[in-house]
A and B are shown apart, each in its own frame.
Chain A
Amino acid sequence: QETMQIGVQVPTTGSEATYGQDMINAVQIAVDEINAEGGLLGQQVSLVTGDTACDPQQSVNAASRLVSANVVGVVGGYCSGATLPTLQIYGDANIPFIIAAANSTQLIPENPGNAFMINSTGADQAAKAVEFLSAQGAATLTIVNQGDAYSQDLATLASEDWTAAGNEVVSIETVNKGEQDYSAIVTKIRSTNPDAVFWTAYYADGGLLIRQLRQSGYQGIIAVGDGSNSPQLFDIAGQAAEGVFAFSNPTADFLPQAASFTETYQEDYGNAPGPYAPLAYDGMKLLGWAIAEAGSTDADAIIEVLRSADGQEWLAGPISFTDVNTLARSNFIVLKGEGGAWTRADE
């Protein structure tokens, strides 16, 4: 019996492998479910992985390989920088591409029309962050990013919005991934003592930063972006993560239908799903739905169905697209660290 090939384009080696692996796991869960229900168009679905290593050149190789493997569609896209040059490749080959994590605004003009971004853009998140932190009474803010496209983009957007709202940005700081020791930045933050600190990058380094901030006695508000809403933040930051706010798409924990996903993930992989797991899962499910709806593997038909997605509920919320194929809504929610787990903070 023939199987239907779906591509997953994420980093599985290099410094970002953690996140890529997390996404593959989630996609695999979705595929297992689809196959358990009889597959798509009567065929079992199987995955082909394309490792980008978060390197543009390698991701071009990976994408070309997925194209050569005759995949029906591709899910993934983690690093924006590495996702960018692949858009043209999938465009030329006319393959539907669900971008589950990468959300740099730079991707939009380069999209030939076959790619769909199911993660809200950085602009949406920045707006939410500014709104929430202002409401908490913060007037001065220090933003810390990690010098990559995603977190720098979010930092810049947030800074613009924050200033526009009449508040003061004390400074934008940049750290490097994997540095471990953030004491120098912490001292700098302590010396200017802003009302809030906003970490725009990922949980691993974020956890260390938060830990060191609190250890040094910083008492202000700490907030983190959607790259850091993982439960693993608590492993790394420990006590210090208590009271930290996170901006996030509604993740697995906060939707009734996601409970079983989280459980399955725990069971299969021995740890909690990371920040992009639900979106990756959704991406696969969305693609599966579109293929089923289209009733064929014809790309144009699948793309047509995706365009017409009309707010159907998925794990991470309803999906419908703008005319540039970005998520039509922003449904960022705010979480708070409490007792070693995330709870809703905005309800």
Chain B
Amino acid sequence: MADNQLLALSGVTLAFAGNTVLDDVNFSIPRDAIVSLIGPNGAGKTSLFNSITGFYKPQGGSVRFDGQELLKLKPHQVTASGIARTFQNVRLFREMTVLENVMSGMHCRTKSGALAAVLRLPSQQREEAEIRAFSEECLAFVGIADEANREATTLAYGHQRRVEIARALATKPKLLLLDEPAAGLNSGEKVALTELIARIRNELGISVLLIEHDMGLVMKISERISVLDHGKMIAEGTAKDIQNDPKVIEAYLGQDDGEGQS
């Protein structure tokens, strides 16, 4: 059973100045799955991501990933162990091209240092070529190979989101964490995003954990959905289960009473 779980959180507790943000959270992701995490604003979803990836230091609990304990690791070590993420607000490197942005992901998979660079050692040259080639591959995968040499922050918003995903893929992860990837996208872009997420899992074999408020997208793509409210897991199940769970409706979905229609 345990072997089936790629990521397993147990008893994770996080508080800021007495304000409990995550309250004894137990949660797991099977291998090869697409799982969504939903919940009201301020429920602690992003905080959960930050706790997994080492940006926040929970006061208690454990985060096991592929047999390894993550809680003591720094963010870059978490990434090296095989988890990549995107951010709720797109955070691309300014003034750098799309390709350069994606190349950053390869950093933790390569190793040549300053001396090798200054002396232009053959091993360094080989590695540079490899970094470039793989980054281009990642760009092609998310479908924006044409934009490789543009300054990343001048791209349309939807494309910036894709650069972020390509950059994450370049770290060669086993698990990809996406924080509201559809926010600010128009409906066409949302459809494309849904396809992309499916391909990441199906073609690359990377598991995906998704935070998203767009219920259409969540329901369509997730194999399992977990619901967080006030730092607690209040429900877990398939899209159907969740949609009809009164607790979830009360806390999160709400009733569209059509009041807008006067």
Physical contact A–B (CB less than 8 Å): no
